[in-house]
């Protein structure tokens, strides 16, 4: 059986890809020169197969169909080994040799190679050819949509995540699948094929050394130790990878995939106990009963829930949704044994492959999938925990830069912080899978105030700007010659609400409110404030106050809320506690003069009564009904207007409520 879980996704994805490629091709007579290459390809030995195919390709004479098939197989070897530029060349040769005419998968895989390198326009072109050549139209459309969405996300990049290569840990070989090995997040275990791996063999899948598990430490200043292999109780001459530890970091579960020159054996989960700084002998966990007949299903890449009650893992056993699926087993406290495997169902799994599950401390599930809809290659998905057992919301692809056009997988969160590690072969890597750190930087908010004169537009120097947080903490600063108060030392925090008070002697004090609650991006609050000079016995406009026709009752409906308009005065009087005002109501010129005088007086009193209800001292308020004596627009001007709508709007402007500052020497009680 082919090795699925030997470490990198290159090795893990071989079986499905090889199987798909095999059944998608018409049966062809096997050429003696390519027999060894075909055998290596069929068992997932892509590195070995590519060498054999290329050696035989040069010897094929005249058989254009076989040469086309071999070129396609070489392209597949390189694509599945993530040597994408090399795959490009051989797919093109296969197309030139007309192999794609009867095999549209060539176009699909050629497009996937372009997509995996972020060349989305070229990828779309190939997916269109795949569709036109008789390929799966729905799949082609999904891939085209994915390309367009990926290209857009690279431009917009709304994500706050910062992703950087872990230079001090990565090697020129495969390095991937990091797991935390202590509660502080300072010890890690990861898989690598670096030269210090156990054994001297060459993995025919990757052409590298076989994978081993390594441990490294990082101090609080970010300095890394030299990675050291875990030792021969864990590492073997075959492949190890895919690690999880229990909540006490005393029990290690990992994947081991035995392999020899001609055979791949099914991967299994092994377990080891830590004693001091040493790991004990590893034993097979026995998720599947191999002796009962299932001697071929792959099992690996375990991940424990924070309470150690469930283990999620990958398998292609019967009963799944297709390809490799996420499965889980539950710990039985009574028997002190793991139960039987349960598939996580179509809500999590797909007809494609799922890999590298990780359960965050908050219960959320992360895993990688090559299902359509991502940015290319393997993409990381998140499924939010519903808070009960193994129930999760529908998984969603994570944003760029967590995902990229390359393979992205094996995301793990730090046990305490909003950061962690993922694995990827994106261009910043050293040529193969590397480990990358990711972090969510804290949100940053800045507040800058500028104060100007309402009438002249000139900056006001010496105005006091006071910012008060919802917790009562307050900071003040004065404006400079340009009207700016930038040096106030504003301590603006996330998930907070702030009120602003602007004051200057001789001006009507003003204010503002702003909030950072619910904001997901760092934001600069740049505010401009216009202060009116205090002038007694001059009309000051205010927001529109309307009344029921021919009555003093305030209009409050979906279109107009006159109480909200009067709240403007409540705020102004609260900010200017020495002001005494007259509140003056005007009618239009229709109706009798006496009736309008009485109506306007009652309307002014209605406004005053509302302000008193809102806590304003009645001694600071004087209701004045002006009737129809002071229209803004004369009857003659209104009569000359062209339409009824214009004339009615003019009457409405005359039906206004304004206020005057009559004094500013009131002494608050």
Q: What is the CA radius of gyration of the chain?
A: 36
CA angle 254, 255, 259 (to 5 degrees): 145
Three-state secondary-structure class, residue 39: helix
Backbone angles phi, psi at 639, to 5 degrees: -60, -30
Rounded average pLDDT over 110-121:
91
- List all residues 6 or more positions away from 200 whose beta carbon is below 8 Å from its beta carbon: 209
CB 381 within 8 A of CB 368: yes
- pTM across the whole model: 0.74
What is the residue-averaged pLDDT of the chain? Answer: 89
Q: Which fold has domain 562-663?
A: 60s Ribosomal Protein L30; Chain: A; (3.30.1330)
Residue ranges of domains in the chain: 9-156, 162-439, 445-531, 562-663
Neighbour-count burial of 226, counting CB atoms closer than 10 A to its CB (0-12 exposed, 13-18 middle, 19+ buried) = exposed
Q: What is the largest CA-CA distance in the chain?
A: 114
Distance CA 584, CA 656 (A): 8
DSSP 8-class letter at 399: P
CB-CB contact of 438 with 423 (8 Å): no
Homologous superfamily (CATH) for 162-439: TolB, C-terminal domain (2.120.10.30)
CA dihedral 197→201→204→208, nearest 10 degrees, is 30
pLDDT of residue 10 exceeding 70: no
Pair of tokens at residue 649: 């709007």
413 has which bridge partners?
Answer: 420
* Domain 445-531 -> CATH class: mainly beta
Residue 320: phi and psi, rounded to 5, are: -95, -170
**What pLDDT is recorded for position 421?**
98
> pLDDT at residue 120 above 70?
yes
CATH superfamily of 9-156: Tetratricopeptide repeat domain (1.25.40.10)
Confidence at residue 80, expressed as pLDDT on a 0 to 100 scale = 87
Q: What is the mean pLDDT of residues 85-102?
A: 93
- The DSSP secondary-structure symbol of 36 reads H
Q: Does 9-156 match 445-531 in CATH topology?
A: no
Task: Summarize pLDDT for 595-618 with one digit per residue, the tens.
Answer: 999 999 999 999 999 999 999 999
* All residues at 6 or more sequence positions from 436 whose CB lies less than 8 Å from its CB, including other chains: 163, 164, 165, 166, 421, 422, 423, 424, 426, 428, 429
User: Which is more confident, 291 or 125?
Assistant: 125
């Amino acid at each position: 059986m082919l090795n699925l879980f030997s470490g990198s996704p290159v090795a893990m994805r071989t079986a499905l890809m090889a199987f798909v490629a095999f059944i998608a091709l018409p049966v062809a007579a096997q050429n003696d020169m390519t027999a060894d290459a075909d055998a290596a390809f069929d068992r997932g030995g892509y590195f070995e197969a590519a060498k054999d195919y290329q050696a035989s390709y040069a010897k094929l004479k005249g058989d254009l169909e076989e040469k086309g098939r071999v070129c396609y197989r070489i392209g597949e070897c390189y694509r599945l080994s993530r040597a994408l530029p090399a795959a490009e060349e051989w797919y093109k040769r296969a197309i030139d040799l007309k192999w794609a005419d009867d095999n549209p998968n060539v176009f699909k895989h050629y497009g996937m190679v372009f997509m995996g390198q972020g060349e989305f326009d070229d990828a779309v072109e190939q997916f269109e050819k795949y569709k036109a050549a008789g390929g799966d139209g729905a799949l082609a459309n999904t891939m085209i949509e994915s390309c367009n969405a990926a290209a857009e996300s690279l431009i917009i990049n709304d994500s706050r995540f910062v992703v950087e290569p872990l230079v001090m840990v990565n090697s020129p070989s495969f390095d991937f699948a990091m797991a935390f090995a202590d509660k502080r997040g300072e010890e890690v275990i990861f898989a690598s094929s670096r030269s210090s791996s156990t054994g001297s063999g060459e993995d025919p899948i990757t052409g590298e050394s076989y994978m081993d598990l390594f441990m490294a430490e990082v101090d609080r200043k970010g300095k890394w130790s030299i990675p050291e292999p875990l030792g021969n109780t864990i590492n073997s001459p075959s492949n190890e990878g895919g690690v999880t530890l229990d909540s006490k970091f005393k029990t290690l579960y990992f994947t081991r995939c035995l392999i020899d020159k001609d055979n791949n054996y099914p991967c299994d989960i092994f377990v080891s106990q830590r004693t001091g700084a040493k790991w004990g002998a590893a034993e097979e966990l026995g998720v599947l009963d191999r002796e009962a007949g299932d001697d071929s299903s792959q099992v690996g890449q375990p991940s424990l829930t924070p309470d150690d009650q469930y283990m999620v893992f990958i398998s292609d056993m019967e009963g799944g949704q297709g390809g490799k699926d996420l499965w889980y087993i539950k710990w039985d406290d009574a028997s002190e044994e793991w139960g039987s495997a349960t598939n996580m169902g179509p809500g999590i799994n797909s007809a494609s492959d799922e890999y590298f599950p990780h359960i965050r401390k908050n219960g959320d599930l992360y895993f990688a999938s090559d299902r359509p809809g991502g940015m290319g290659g393997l993409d990381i998905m998140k499924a939010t925990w519903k808070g009960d057992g193994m129930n999760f919301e529908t998984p969603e692809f994570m944003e760029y830069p967590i995902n990229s056009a390359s393979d992205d997988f094996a995301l793990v969160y730090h046990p305490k912080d909003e950061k962690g590690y993922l694995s990827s072969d994106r261009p910043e890597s050293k040529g193969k899978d590397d480990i990358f750190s990711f972090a969510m930087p804290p949100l940053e908010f800045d507040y800058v105030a500028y104060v100007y004169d309402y009438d002249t537009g000139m900056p006001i120097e010496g105005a006091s700007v006071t910012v008060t947080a919802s917790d009562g903490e307050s900071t003040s600063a004065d404006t400079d010659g340009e009207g700016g108060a930038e040096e106030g030392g504003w301590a603006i925090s996330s998930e907070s609400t702030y009120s602003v008070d602007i004051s200057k002697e001789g001006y009507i004090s003003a204010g503002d409110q702003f909030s950072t609650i619910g904001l997901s991006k760092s934001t600069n609050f740049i505010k401009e404030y216009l202060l009116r000079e205090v002038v007694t016995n001059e009309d000051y406009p205010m927001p529109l106050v309307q009344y029921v026709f021919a009555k003093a009752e305030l209009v409050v409906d979906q279109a107009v809320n006159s109480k909200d308009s009067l709240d403007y005065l409540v705020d102004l009087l609260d900010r200017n506690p020495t002001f005494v005002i007259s509140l003056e109501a005007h009618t239009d010129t229709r109706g009798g003069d006496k009736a309008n005088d009485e109506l306007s007086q009652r309307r002014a009193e209605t406004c005053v009564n509302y302000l008193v209800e809102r806590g304003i001292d009645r001694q600071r308020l004087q209701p004045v009904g002006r009737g129809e004596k002071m229209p803004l627009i004369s009857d003659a001007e209104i009569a000359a207007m062209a339409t009824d709508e214009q004339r009615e709007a003019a009457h409405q402007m005359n039906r206004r409520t304004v206020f005057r500052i009559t004094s500013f020497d009131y002494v608050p009680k």
